A and B are shown apart, each in its own frame.
Chain A
Amino acid sequence: DQQVKQNSPSLSVQEGRISILNCDYTNSMFDYFLWYKKYPAEGPTFLISISSIKDKNEDGRFTVFLNKSAKHLSLHIVPSQPGDSAVYFCAARRTGTASKLTFGTGTRLQVTL
């Protein structure tokens, strides 16, 4: 049972344009969401997070939007840069399970010149 889903396995975007990565979840008990970036053979790097009491959080070029009614979140990267090419994972955490993260399957982002 995949509780966190990233339905697009890959995405290609031109440098300078906006990248939009999507994530859906099924468990309404999730109340904290995180995005990680991962290069091969390395650990995930934390990018940005959002609590369920908010619908938007910004950090530089990265913005995460949360639509609780649709159980959907998205990560916007503006402008996209070649160094952003990596696999992006969406993760969710449930109330009372502090550090247990449920991950999506990842979206490979390729930023082209």
Chain B
Amino acid sequence: KAGVTQTPRYLIKTRGQQVTLSCSPISGHRSVSWYQQTPGQGLQFLFEYFSETQRNKGNFPGRFSGRQFSNSRSEMNVSTLELGDSALYLCASSLGTTNGEAFFGQGTRLTVV
């Protein structure tokens, strides 16, 4: 059973640009969540998509957005990049039920210069 796949693994962008990250969940999983990991803030929840609908949202500015497709694949977009957006962005896949575990991809390391 294939795991969670995130692309690309590494990305360098310039301030002011926008970026799109992709996540393919485990087959059969309908929930995809996104997290940002930085040294200062740890792992912080961005948002969750379930059956193409945003179900939960963290405390991030509107520059951070996402979507989910009918095959459960998800994309995350960050517009007008800032230096502080440099982080490891992690995607988690789960069944989306009340209990059950979330499985993470290897992440996309975004560096904003």
Q: Which residues of A contact B96 (CB under 8 A)?
A: 98-99
User: A32 with B99: in contact, given A100-B45, A103-B42 (CB under 8 Å)?
Assistant: yes
Which A28-62 residues have C-beta < 8 A from chain B? 32, 34, 36, 41-46, 49, 51
A residues less than 8 Å from B43 (CB atoms): 44, 89, 91, 101, 103
Q: Contacts of B109 on A, CB cut-off 8 Å?
A: 41
A85 interface hit (Cβ, 8 Å): no
- Write out, one digit per residue, whether chain B residues 1-39 have a CB within 8 A of any chain A CB (1) or not (0): 000101000000000000000000000000101010000
Within the complex, the shortest CB–CB distance from B94 to chain A, in Å, comes to 5
Q: Does B92 contact A (CB under 8 A)?
A: yes
Contact flags (1/0) for B80-113 with A, using CB distance below 8 Å?
0000000010111010111101111111010000
Number of B residues near A (Cβ < 8 Å) is 31
Residues from chain A with a CB closer than 8 A to the CB of B99 are 32, 49, 51
| 8 A Cβ contacts from A74-113 to B | 89, 91, 95, 97-106
Q: How far is the CA of A45 from the CA of B45 in the complex (A)?
A: 17
| Chain B min CB distance to A12 (Å) | 21
Contact A100 B48 (CB under 8 A): yes
Give complex CA distance A70, B56 in Å. Answer: 28
Whether A98 contacts B45 by the Cβ 8 Å rule is no
Residue from A89, A99, A105 within 8 A of B94 (CB atoms):
A99
A89, B104: Cα distance in complex, Å = 13
| Partner of A95 from B6, B94, B98 at Cβ < 8 Å | B98
